[in-house]
Structure 1
Amino acid sequence: MTGTLLKIEGLTKAYPGVVANDHVGFAVAPGEVHALLGENGAGKSTLVKMIYGLVKPDSGTMQFRGAPYAPPEPRAARAAGVAMVFQHFSLFEALNVAENVALGMENPPKMRDLAARIREISQAYGLPQDPARLVGDLSAGERQRVEIVRCLLQDPKLLIMDEPTSVLTPQEVEILFRTLRKLSAEGTAILYISHKLEEIRALCDGATILRGGKVVGSCTPREKTARALAEMMVGGEFAVTDRAGRSLGAPVLEVRGLSLPPMSQFGPALKDVTLTLRAGEVLGIGGVAGNGQEELLATLAGERPSAPGTVLMKGVDISGLGPNPRRAQGILSAPEERLGHAAVPAMSLTENTLVTGTIRKPLTRNGFINMNEARSFAEEIIQEFDVRTPGPHVAARALSGGNLQKYVIGREVLQGPEVLIVNQPTWGVDAAAAASIRQAILNLARKGAAVIVISQDLDELMEVADHFCALNEGRLSAPRPTDGLTIDEIGLMLGGAHGMEAAE
């Protein structure tokens, strides 16, 4: 790695009430895998959006391959040799792989030629892909391969990756890392954003640390521990999750033989799901994305009714109740899709308290919204969960992903649920905030609440859960105590080895 591919000096971008990037400067060499580290709201996403031409900087300069670089739009960035794989995939499920790739190209070739090129590139980089497969039938890992292959067809000199492993299995992460190392060896630089610090240590050659929009340091990740990297990000120590001091009580929530058709054309059906959740218990449910997690949460939260006798709260059949009656019973939830499902993008944080809070909080009076109470509740969430925002008047879409996640989780926890169901509670959240959210879940359980944590982060589940189940193609395995459970056993369960097979 000699010379400089990308050089940034004094890059600044401000929004009303916040400076997202404050005179940021760093450099990336050809072939270097360079990490951008920082807490949620530290300015990482704004920075890469400026590099990719999605956001125009207020001041500062960039150089790319020795020439001034200021892309007015992503098309210009791609033409210069910069490609980006976003955290949220931009694919059409009803189209096949080749058609999706063609949509991302300025002048796509004939479909037959493009399909041959996709096969050639995907095989060369260890990302096997059938151009004729419908995207709706692909796993999360396979969809990410489509995004990467689309970028590789541009022959990029710099590849930006934003949280690329958040929805991948450990095996898919290994495939991705082999691909990135091959690209690096061929001279492609990679700018890598992730909150998974052990991955940063294993993959990255260098790192730039951002805090509050400013560069506060740089390092060689493999020379640091994950905890040391986290403390560089937050500027001090953070608490270690403590799951001691809990005991399990009587059954609170029961699911008996729950079966439901798919929610969408490409989703899985729920098949004979059975579980018992006790007071004070944290039940971890693992699984590869798309195996029924969203369907299960929607059903338990009351967004989908189920057959009589399939969902019971303290022995009472609630199968036909909707979300608000279930909230009144004490069942609250936080879905995976925070912007659009858990929160309304254009509404302020104050207004977003009304999305779930009107049943258990005094946010309305005689049918009218009590804005003072709603504002006070929003301020309480911001304070208790360290949500980085200028105030409760700010729109949900203006928050970074991690800060909105803290807000959504805090809104549910502070309503004092008897049962809380959360899907991907720390997705896209920095290490310190993730530890805080996990501790909030454990504290809730310590007070006697029952919690279901649905997550693709196995380390997270092993850290917080008393029992572990695997969800595979809409089927839920029998629960296993997390103490003593091995990664090999978890792998079998995730692959569909249920019941006695998993026990063996």
Structure 2
Amino acid sequence: MIANSDVSFTIAPGEIHALLGENGAGKSTLVKMIYGLVRPDQGRMFLHGEPYLPAKPAEARRLGVAMVFQHFSLFEALSVAENVALGMENPPKLRDLAARIRAVSAEYGLPLDPGRRVGDLSAGERQRVEIVRCLLQDPNLLIMDEPTSVLTPQEVEILFHTLRKLAQQGTAILYISHKLEEIRALCDTATILRRGRVVATCTPRERSAREMAELMVGASLSAPERTSAPRGEVALAVTDLSLASPIPFGTPLRGVSFTLSEGEVLGVAGVAGNGQDELLLALSGELRSPAGAIRLMGRPVGALGPQARRAAGLVAAPEDRYGHAAAPDMSLIENAYLTAGVRMGLTRRGFIDWPKTRAFTEAVIRDYDVRTPGPDVAARALSGGNLQKFLMGRELDQGAKVIVINQPTWGVDAAAAGAIRQKILDCAARGAAVLVISQDLDELLEIADSFTVLNEGRLSAPRPVRGLQRDEIGLMMGGAHGMEEATIAT
């Protein structure tokens, strides 16, 4: 299988260039070749007119290429300065490095305290550490992979201001994102890949987000359609749930209360690290809760584990697709059995019914357009977006009464995101109660009936989505406690 075929494009100094494509289009492989993680089979690359073929990332960095990855590579127990030093070939003394960090972060509007422990930082602040670490290299080319996936709207504006300033100073920026409105607002040019080949180059501000999405997938797209259904009984009730976090540097839950009815989609917004993982652990049964704090169809389930809750009708899909939602070295068939075995009846007389499990796996692959050679492939062999599609299909297709999902469309392209959102709405239409945790505000505003914000482990009072303003939501996500009450009062 060829990841990239005859790909050609150029980036000029001071240009912000978008790299677009659906999941499996070859974006990750392409930037890995530029950054020295993968060696191309053929073709040539040039940097400032000179032949360029880095054997490893250290060589790419030495030649002026830096990259901010989608997944942060930081040690939470270390300080900001110590983390930055680990990414340098010959780091100076920490005192001198701290001074440089303060100067660079102030210059680009990304304030950082070099002495703070990374485990105490917000997701937005952690991203600043990654960016400042790159800026200290004085890069000629900066590659950014899905940089806004964990940021509030206000933090996105700060990031864009920084990138525009870098571009004005002559830095070329290669920007990967599935958020097409951001591409239109930020980027000068876009190269669009489809199945490993360049299919178009365009000026984003001259195209609509829908036009670019259709170029990516080669087909027309339609927005998810909501089927009106009467609201049913309360399916999930959480009352004054307070729990310590089992995650190092995690956020405890503090008095979380809400109800979720049959046919309802409740959207939970919040910047990463404010208790989202802990909430999912508590609801899924991986983290036990006090008696009576969680009720499923009126029944207390706080003492039940994940499989018992699945049998009772609650399924959950965590954010971390590698190692939590999936076992990377196991096949898709085996991964399907891990969570669907109980609800889909994939066991027969104490043994796994492999033909039935294979049939379920193949149905998910087909229905969610998972790009894979087959169901026997290991989960880690799939691109992040295709694995995400598989994991969402595995949970959404089990006919559960209550569905809890953290980041349902994380890292998937526009077409796949639309398809997953439609499946969520279809589940609600058949009477399922769905709780969606997401940092994508557009997603929540599109599919949710009710909206709430999780901040520092506290959940705001749920409100109807209709009438909510993005600026107001962003302030709530950033920790403006009482914003929802103040708005209601006015």
- The two structures have a TM-score, normalised by structure 2, of 0.98
**Aligned partner (choices 215, 239, 242) of residue 259 of structure 1:** 242
Which residue in the other structure is 1:10 paired with?
none
Which residue in the other structure is 1:35 paired with?
18
Please say if 1:339 is aligned against 2:299.
no
User: Could you tell me how far 1:432 is from its partner in structure 2?
Assistant: 0.8
Q: Distance in 2 between matches of 1:397 and 1:94?
A: 28
Please say if 1:369 is aligned against 2:352.
yes
Which secondary structure state, in structure 2, belongs to the residue aligned with residue 27 of structure 1? coil
Q: Answer yes or no: is the 8 Å Cα contact 1:478–1:498 preserved in 2.
A: no
Q: Answer yes or no: is the 8 Å Cα contact 1:492–1:502 preserved in 2.
A: no
Aligned residue type for 2:220 = E
Which secondary structure state, in structure 1, belongs to the residue aligned with residue 2 of structure 2? strand
Q: Distance in 1 between matches of 2:476 and 2:49?
A: 51
Q: Distance in 2 between matches of 1:129 and 1:381?
A: 44
Q: Distance in 1 between matches of 2:196 and 2:471?
A: 41
Q: Sequence identity, in percent?
A: 66
Which residue in the other structure is 1:113 paired with?
96
CA distance 1:485–1:470, change in 2 (3 Å): same
Q: Answer yes or no: is the 8 Å Cα contact 1:332–1:417 preserved in 2.
A: yes
Q: Counterparts in 2 of 1:454-469, with a 5 A limit?
A: 454-469=437-452
User: Could you tell me how far 1:481 is from its partner in structure 2?
Assistant: 0.7
* Paired residues, number: 487
Please say if 1:475 is aligned against 2:475.
no
Please say if 1:496 is aligned against 2:486.
no
Which residue in the other structure is 1:215 paired with?
198
Aligned residue type for 1:496 = H
Which residue in the other structure is 1:287 paired with?
270
Please say if 1:71 is aligned against 2:54.
yes
User: Could you tell me how far 1:341 is from its partner in structure 2?
Assistant: 0.5
Which secondary structure state, in structure 2, belongs to the residue aligned with residue 21 of structure 1? coil
**Aligned partner (choices 199, 206, 214) of residue 189 of structure 2:** 206
Q: Counterparts in 2 of 1:50-89, with a 5 A limit?
A: 50-89=33-72
Please say if 1:403 is aligned against 2:386.
yes
Q: Distance in 2 between matches of 1:184 and 1:434?
A: 30
Question: What do the CA deviations read for 1:369-392 (whole angstroms, capped 9, x no partner)?
Answer: 222222111110000011111111
Q: Distance in 2 between matches of 1:117 and 1:487?
A: 35
Q: Distance in 2 between matches of 1:128 and 1:479?
A: 33
Aligned residue type for 2:177 = S
Q: Answer yes or no: is the 8 Å Cα contact 1:302–1:321 preserved in 2.
A: yes
Please say if 1:360 is aligned against 2:343.
yes
Q: Answer yes or no: is the 8 Å Cα contact 2:153–2:471 preserved in 1.
A: no
Q: Could you list the runs of 4 or more consecutive aligned residues of structure 1 that deviate by over 3 angstroms after TM superposition?
A: 498-502
**Aligned partner (choices 287, 291, 299) of residue 304 of structure 1:** 287
**Aligned partner (choices 160, 167, 170) of residue 184 of structure 1:** 167
User: Could you tell me how far 1:218 is from its partner in structure 2?
Assistant: 0.4
Aligned residue type for 1:421 = V
Aligned residue type for 1:226 = A
Please say if 1:102 is aligned against 2:77.
no
User: Could you tell me how far 1:59 is from its partner in structure 2?
Assistant: 1.3
Q: Distance in 1 between matches of 2:475 and 2:194?
A: 40
Aligned residue type for 2:143 = I
Q: Distance in 2 between matches of 1:490 and 1:469?
A: 9
Which residue in the other structure is 1:249 paired with?
232
Q: Distance in 1 between matches of 2:128 and 2:234?
A: 43
- The two structures have a TM-score, normalised by structure 1, of 0.95
User: Could you tell me how far 1:347 is from its partner in structure 2?
Assistant: 0.9
Please say if 1:136 is aligned against 2:139.
no
Question: What do the CA deviations read for 1:129-165 (whole angstroms, capped 9, x no partner)?
Answer: 1100000000111001100111111111000000000
User: Could you tell me how far 1:500 is from its partner in structure 2?
Assistant: 3.2
Q: Distance in 2 between matches of 1:159 and 1:499?
A: 38
Question: What do the CA deviations read for 1:149-202 (whole angstroms, capped 9, x no partner)?
Answer: 111111110000000000001111111101100110111000000000011011
Q: Distance in 2 between matches of 1:306 and 1:270?
A: 11
**Aligned partner (choices 155, 158, 167) of residue 138 of structure 2:** 155
Q: Answer yes or no: is the 8 Å Cα contact 2:472–2:483 preserved in 1.
A: no
Q: Distance in 1 between matches of 2:410 and 2:267?
A: 15
Q: Distance in 1 between matches of 2:160 and 2:486?
A: 31
* Structure 1, 367-376 or 103-112: larger mean CA deviation: 367-376
Unaligned runs of 5+ in 1: 1-17
Q: Answer yes or no: is the 8 Å Cα contact 2:25–2:193 preserved in 1.
A: yes
Which residue in the other structure is 1:91 paired with?
74
Higher relative contact order, chain-length normalized (CA < 8 Å, sep 6+) = 2
Q: Answer yes or no: is the 8 Å Cα contact 1:493–1:502 preserved in 2.
A: no
Q: Counterparts in 2 of 1:267-278, with a 5 A limit?
A: 267-278=250-261
Q: Distance in 1 between matches of 2:338 and 2:194?
A: 31
User: Could you tell me how far 1:53 is from its partner in structure 2?
Assistant: 0.4
Unaligned runs of 5+ in 2: none
